[in-house]
A and B are shown apart, each in its own frame.
Chain A
Amino acid sequence: MYISSMFKLMFGLQWKEFNRGKAVGGKLVGKIFKWFGIIYFAFMAFLMGIIASSYGGPLAEFPLKEDSVAPFLYVNKQLIYVFAYLIVMRYFIQSLPVLNIKALLLTPLLKTKIVRFSLLKTVLTYFNILPLFFLIPFSFLLAQTGKFDVIGLIFWNINIIGLIYVTNFFNFLLNNKDKLLYTIGGVLALIKALEYYSIVDFTEYSEQFFYLFYSAPYATTTTWLLVFWLYDYVKKYLLGGLHIDTGLQVKIKEAKVDDFSFLDRFGKTATFIKNDLRLLKRSKRARTAVYMGIGFLFYGLIFASQEGTYSELAGDGFASAGSFFGYLFSTGGFLFMFGSFVPSWDSQYYPLMMTQNIEYKEYLNSKWSLMVIGALISTVLASFIYSFFGVNAVYAVLAGAFYNIGVNGYLTLWAGAYTKSPIDLNSSANAFGDKKAFNAKTMLVGIPQILLPVLVYSFTSQYYDHFTGCLAVAALGTLGILLKPIAFNLIMKAYKTEKYSTLKAYKTN
């Protein structure tokens, strides 16, 4: 009785944390995004399970022969990488229940119970459940073919689940041990390199290893023995670290001076740009904006490389509008990713900003300048990348760049005045927990940001040619650059009227 009620109490605490956690902000939209992400990945896993059951790998003949066991062997081959990936993902994303333990230390709960609870609670984390969405349909479809020993398949599954839990508990030991992780990463890179140069093919071993659990089901016991041993080991490990100066201590990185004084010649704008550069460098959450900007550089490739296919399916006009859309994003990635969180980046110290001797104009201009610098760098890189697709692609990239700088920069900043979701810079962005800035105005602003240039391009290029289409979009951008003072006045007004409610929103969250 006592134990179960205690468990209920702690479980209740956990549920509240999930629902009221800071990252989710308790807001409906945040929750919807979280659940949407969870369901999306589950669905993708499910789909992959179905696809994999009839896929024999890149070298297999297609369609597979009736009696082929190729899909099963192929999956076994790749499992080594799946588990390596799982370890790395867990390390970066799965947060360990360390912080909450602190508050429980002085309660009349036995330390072993606290540790056991925090360990058992990880049993049901998403990382452990998600693979089931792949495994179940995959195994089920394999079993249906009648070519597989069902008992063997069941034990093969049990073994994989066991290995998933091995990585789960292993993650506790990895926590905050960057060196260990880099070692694992190095070994993996070596394995991949050896495979690539066909010196040693580890996927062969992977296939043999995992196939063993199908052909010799009793071998699964060793995996589960390992799970229980690891559980016990981690339990002892954590028990030894239940002091605020040992296991519960939050690691502090040593601060390093960044000298950006070469920017000083740009006056007050530089004062803020220097800070923003430090922000991008020192906050994990802000760095994601840079990474995503880099990722978006390659966004156009999706369309550019498929242009032929699209033209066949939907006609030339649609295909080129699609790739224009892609190019637009490739130069604007950072601009969007950084800009749509202005002023949220400064949410933690917005009262300071609002009482300093700063004019909104200078503040906004510095943010805008940084966005433009990002867009310019992206443009140079994108022009290089897409030059492989011909000069027409480069025209489109440049037209997109003009539009991003001349129009989208302002629009993103303007919408920012209405985005009032604070950002916790000190926590790293959690893939499912990060609340997107989302409101009606942000949605509406997407129309002139993306739809308008694509439409302008499509129409002009239909009536004239590709080059004129690009020119028309670039002209819109140039107009925007010329109208900067007017645009800035409008944005400033929006920021001023929203000041008090923004301050309030940043405070209450």
Chain B
Amino acid sequence: MIKIENLTKKYSKQTVLDILSLEIPSGQTFGLIGNNGAGKTTLFSCLLDLIKPTKGKVINNDVEVSSSEDWKSFTTAFLDETFLIGYLMPEEYFYFIGELRGLSKIQVDNFVLQFEDFFHGEILGGKKYLRDLSKGNQKKVGVIAALIGEPKVIILDEPFANLDPSTQIKLKEIIKDLSRYKDTTVLVSSHDIQDVTEVCDRIVLLEKGKLIKDIKTNKETLKELEAYFKG
């Protein structure tokens, strides 16, 4: 379970994040939606201790993220290309991440192999470094690397953007399976209301750093969100 208490982030006078309280139970697929500047990435960065909040705290499975580093052993993330090491080949990158999470090369090979379909033959066994892959393929590598080592919490920022339709559909299946079979908490952000409603059990709408809506996904959710964003 992830607990957020009284979390605020201010840059000089501008408040970019202000969340009183939010609890995300284990195994939930949690969607974050909002326009540009709503604070989605800031929230994720606070969860990962990449940004120091002005006030408040984040507790990830009983670990307060800014004071202990123990959360790192069960949390993974892919926010953007700064999570990729450009001079490595995809396989080398997977091995590197695997080694950090205590997996052997063979274990990593076996794990990655189940996503062969997802990679569409463009990632494994190629002769390119990550820096030379297309944006979409880079994202595929980053997202799959975040799944290595059976983490309890996975944070993905805009995982569906830049992906081709078939890959989007496959990725949605992968994310749904995570909570269905493995009790993994998955946090996903998106600009696309259709994507999040399809994938997530619960959707939180942010606007200028504030929590506006907290919806348990149902048949009406898509319409409700559409109505909101129409203004």
Contact = CB atoms under 8 A, between A and B. Distances in A.
B213 to A, nearest CB: 28
A47 to B, nearest CB: 41
A357 B85 CA distance: 16
B100 A356 contact: yes
> Which secondary structure dominates where chain B touches chain A?
loop
A275 interface: yes
Contacts of B99: 268, 271
Contact of A275 (B76, B85, B127, B132): B85
Contacts of A253: 129, 132
Interface in A347-361: 348-352, 354-359
Interface stretch (B86-94, B107-115, B116-124, B182-190): B86-94
Given A255-B126, A279-B87, A282-B129, A358 B96 contact: no
B100 A357 contact: yes
Nearest to B98: A271
Given A255-B129, A282-B129, A357-B72, A352 B85 contact: yes
Nearest to B90: A255
A350 B48 CA distance: 13
Q: Which of A253, A357, A507 has the most CB of B within 10 A?
A: A357
B100 A358 contact: yes
Contact of A278 (B52, B88, B101): B88
Interface string B65-98: 0000100110111011011111111011000110
A10 interface: no
A278 B48 CA distance: 27
Interface residues of A, number: 31
B88 A355 contact: no
A332 to B, nearest CB: 26
Contact of A283 (B48, B87, B89, B96): B87
A444 interface: no
B190 to A, nearest CB: 20
B48 A275 contact: no
A271 B86 contact: no
A503 B52 CA distance: 11
A245 interface: no
Contact of A355 (B50, B52, B86): B50
Given A255-B128, A506-B82, 17 more contacts: A257-B89, A275-B85, A278-B92, A283-B87, A348-B86, A351-B50, A351-B79, A351-B83, A352-B84, A354-B48, A354-B50, A355-B48, A356-B100, A357-B73, A358-B72, A358-B100, A503-B51
Q: Which of A348, A355, A358, A500 has the most CB of B within 10 A?
A: A355
B114 to A, nearest CB: 22
Given A349-B83, A349-B86, A254 B127 contact: yes
Contact of B127 (A255, A348, A349, A426): A255
A135 interface: no
B82 A351 contact: yes
Nearest 4 Cβ contacts at the A-B interface: A352-B83, A282-B87, A351-B82, A271-B99
Interface string B3-19: 00000000000000000
A252 interface: yes
Nearest to A272: B96
Nearest to B149: A357
B96 A503 contact: no
B131 interface: yes
Contacts of B207: none
Given A275-B96, A507-B82, A355 B77 contact: yes
A423 B188 CA distance: 30
B100 A348 contact: no
Contacts of A283: 87
Nearest to A286: B87
Nearest to A280: B87
A425 interface: yes
B201 interface: no
Contacts of B79: 351
Contacts of B89: 255, 257
B64 interface: no
Interface in A339-388: 348-352, 354-359
Contacts of A350: 82
A351 B157 CA distance: 13
Nearest to A278: B87
21 contacts: A255-B127, A255-B128, A271-B99, A274-B96, A278-B92, A282-B129, A283-B87, A348-B86, A349-B82, A350-B82, A351-B80, A351-B83, A354-B49, A354-B50, A355-B50, A355-B76, A357-B72, A358-B100, A500-B50, A500-B51, A503-B50
Q: Which of A254, A255, A350, A426 has the most CB of B within 10 A?
A: A255
B72 A352 contact: no
Contacts of A426: 86, 131
A410 B84 CA distance: 28
Interface in A89-109: none
Nearest to B105: A261
B87 A425 contact: yes
Contact of B97 (A268, A354, A356): A356
A60 B8 CA distance: 78
Contacts of A354: 48-50
Contacts of B52: 500
Interface string B38-62: 0000000000111110000000000
Contact of B82 (A252, A352, A425): A352
Contacts of B129: 253, 255, 282
A355 B77 CA distance: 8
Interface string A469-496: 0000000000000000000000000000
A8 to B, nearest CB: 34
Contact of B96 (A252, A271, A506, A507): A271
Contacts of B132: 252-253, 255
Contacts of B75: 355
Nearest to B104: A264
Nearest to A261: B105
A366 B39 CA distance: 36
Nearest to A254: B127
Interface in A309-364: 348-352, 354-359
Contacts of A356: 72, 97, 100
